[in-house]
Amino acid sequence: MNKFVSILGSTGSIGTQSLEVCEKHGFVINALAAHSSVELLAEQVRKFRPRYACIYNEEKYAQLKSLLSDVQVELLTGMEGLCRIAALEENDIVLNSVVGMVGLLPTLTAINAGKDVALANKETLVAGGELVMGLAAEKGVKIYPIDSEHSAVFQCLQGNKREQVRGMILTASGGPFFGYSYDQLRNVTKEQALHHPNWEMGSKITIDSATLMNKGLEFIEAKWLFDLRPDQIQIVVHRQSVIHSAVEYNDCSVIAQLGVPDMKIPIQYALLYPERLECPTKRLSLTDYGTLTFAEPDIETFKCLGAAIEAIGRGGAYPCLINSANEEAVGAFLHDKIPFIQIGEIVSSVLDRFEPSSIRSYEDVMKADTAARDYVRSIIG
Ligand code: MG
């Protein structure tokens, strides 16, 4: 397939799996961008020969340049580099899998340039959902979700009438601390939190899965992606991660998407839509699983999830505020500055700390982002 793909976040878990999918289907890699994994990026450039490569961390630019001194490629750096790649004329699709708020501006830039986006960066829609979806509609740009849950919903919507959807079921693995009481959460370690039962992912999203913030962010994303009211989205803990999510229609029929927990399936669907070609993954054997289980999420114990649902119900800047507070708190936890349990306390305290405000521009998002981070830093000290 002669599709031109640019990948932002190419050295992360989604990025490397995306390259595998692109390689399998013969896509042309137009540009690659990474945060700071300069050696892996250089390796990828040698292998895939993109026209552009960007290292976000400007301190690593010189190193990238020397690593690739014998390769013909235009090197870029910083947010300017990311945005330049996002808007390249040759792009057929921009895959955005960078981590954190950094992903929002490149997404907006790609949409502004009329480029379809395969979106794995959660913060784009959590912090800027209204802006992003409004701009995408205006520019006629398609957003293809890469998250397994949203890809599942997107797949379950195919061939049906949007106005006949009653709601959706967002499944959650429950993370490593499913069933824990609030007291039990007090003593969990970083090593335990970084060990997810089903998915191999980067450290930020793995911690978000342990606090259930990840499901809260996905809840918010689902609202924007599929134009649903919060009361139309039900979260169900499904420990095996085989049913990736489902859509309920007015006739009470529920259509679900199943598969092994492997991100290459949603990545490939986003890049190849609507084609379903062979994917470099395992086939699902239901009898290997034997039993699939379902339970209610515990939003009292996992405060992040409760806070995220409350935030999108309130609207305005609240989703952005809790997201930025969470990013800051997770960073502090990963640097051993706060215990695990404090992440949820910090995130939920944002709801009381900030007055309602609205998001009308990228600057509004950035303002809320800074305010939330300053607040968290003032607590952590
Ligand atoms: Mg997910």
pLDDT, one tens digit per residue, over 243-278 is 999 999 999 999 999 999 999 999 999 999 999 999
203 and 132, same structural domain?
A: no
Domain with residue 127: its CATH number is 3.40.50.720
Among 145, 180, 209, identify where a domain stops: 145
122 and 30, same structural domain?
A: yes
pLDDT of res. 201:
78
- Using the mean position of ligand 1's atoms as its centre, give its distance from the Cα of residue 208 in Å: 10
Question: Which residue numbers in the chain have pLDDT < 70?
Answer: none
Rg of the chain over all Cα atoms, to the nearest angstrom:
20
pLDDT of res. 209:
94
pLDDT, one tens digit per residue, over 70-101 is 999 999 999 999 999 999 999 999 999 998 88
Residue with tokens 């910083």: 78
- Using the mean position of ligand 1's atoms as its centre, give its distance from the Cα of residue 314 in Å: 23
306 and 196, same structural domain?
A: yes
195 and 134, same structural domain?
A: no
CA distance 40 to 52: 15
Among 93, 112, 145, identify where a domain stops: 145
pLDDT of res. 109:
98
- Using the mean position of ligand 1's atoms as its centre, give its distance from the Cα of residue 232 in Å: 18
- Using the mean position of ligand 1's atoms as its centre, give its distance from the Cα of residue 366 in Å: 25
- Using the mean position of ligand 1's atoms as its centre, give its distance from the Cα of residue 244 in Å: 8
- Using the mean position of ligand 1's atoms as its centre, give its distance from the Cα of residue 53 in Å: 28
- Using the mean position of ligand 1's atoms as its centre, give its distance from the Cα of residue 84 in Å: 28
158 and 141, same structural domain?
A: no
pLDDT of res. 200:
73
pLDDT of res. 79:
98
pTM of the model: 0.95
- Using the mean position of ligand 1's atoms as its centre, give its distance from the Cα of residue 321 in Å: 21
pLDDT of res. 202:
84
272 and 134, same structural domain?
A: no
pLDDT of res. 165:
98
* Other C-beta atoms lying within 10 Å of the C-beta of residue 338: 19
| β-strand partners of 34 | 55
Among 112, 145, 178, identify where a domain stops: 145
- Using the mean position of ligand 1's atoms as its centre, give its distance from the Cα of residue 120 in Å: 9
Is 303:347 a contact under the CB 8 Å cutoff? yes
- Using the mean position of ligand 1's atoms as its centre, give its distance from the Cα of residue 59 in Å: 32
Region of residue 78 (left: phi > 0; alpha: psi -120 to 50; beta: else): left
- Using the mean position of ligand 1's atoms as its centre, give its distance from the Cα of residue 218 in Å: 7
Number of folded domains that form the chain:
2
pLDDT of res. 2:
85
- Using the mean position of ligand 1's atoms as its centre, give its distance from the Cα of residue 368 in Å: 25
Range of the domain at 176: 150-380
Of the chain, the end-to-end C-alpha distance in Å amounts to 52
307 and 172, same structural domain?
A: yes
